[in-house]
Amino acid sequence: MELLVNIDVDDLDKALRFYTSAFDLQVGRRFGADGVELLGASSAIYLLVKPAGSPATQASSQVRDYGRHWTPVHLDLVVADIDAAVQRALNAGAILEAAVRSSSWGKIALMADPFGHGFCLLQFVGRGYDEIATAE
C-alpha cells in the first residue's frame, strides 16, 4: 500500500510558497491549474484547488472553510531540530498554536498552515515513541 496525502487549498500559488518554504518540498508534477504534486517527504503530497464554500462531498451539507478548523486527521512532520523547523514554518506563514512541549519521547509543536489545517512538528529523542510503547 502506498500513502498519498491530499491537502485542499483555495490558492495554489500561496500554498506552493508555504509548503515549499516551510518544509523544503519540491514540485513534482503539475495537474493544470487544479493541483500540484510535492515531493521530499516520505509520501507524496498533493495540493488540490478547492474553492472556499464548495461542498466537501456530494452527500454532505458541509462546505470547505479555510479558517482554522479541527479535523481528527492531521499531519505530523518529524524534524531533526524542532526550534529551527518551527521558525522556518513561522517565516513561511504558519501559526504556532502553543509553546513547544517536551516529553519522554521528544518535543512537539502544534501549528496551523495558512489554510486552517492543523499540523504538528515532532522531534524524537532517545527511542522516540518506543519510550512510551506498551505491550498491549
* Per-residue model confidence as pLDDT tens for the chain (136 residues): 999 999 999 999 999 999 999 999 999 999 999 999 999 999 999 999 999 999 988 888 889 999 999 888 899 999 999 999 999 999 999 999 999 999 999 999 999 999 999 999 999 999 999 999 998 8
Contact call for residues 36 and 76 (beta carbons, < 8 A): no
Q: Name which of 61, 57, 76, 71 is nearest 115 in CA terms.
A: 71
What is the rounded distance in angstroms from the CA atom of residue 48 to the CA atom of residue 33? 9
Q: Do domains 1-52 and 67-136 have the same CATH topology?
A: yes
In CATH terms, the superfamily for domain 1-52 is: 2,3-Dihydroxybiphenyl 1,2-Dioxygenase, domain 1 (3.10.180.10)
Q: What is the pLDDT of residue 40?
A: 97
- Assign domain 67-136 to its CATH superfamily: 2,3-Dihydroxybiphenyl 1,2-Dioxygenase, domain 1 (3.10.180.10)
Q: Where are the domains of the chain?
A: 1-52, 67-136
Q: Give the phi and the psi of residue 37 in degrees, each rounded to 5.
A: -95, 130
Compute how many other C-beta atoms are within 10 angstroms of the C-beta atom of residue 113.
23
pLDDT for the residue numbered 70: 86
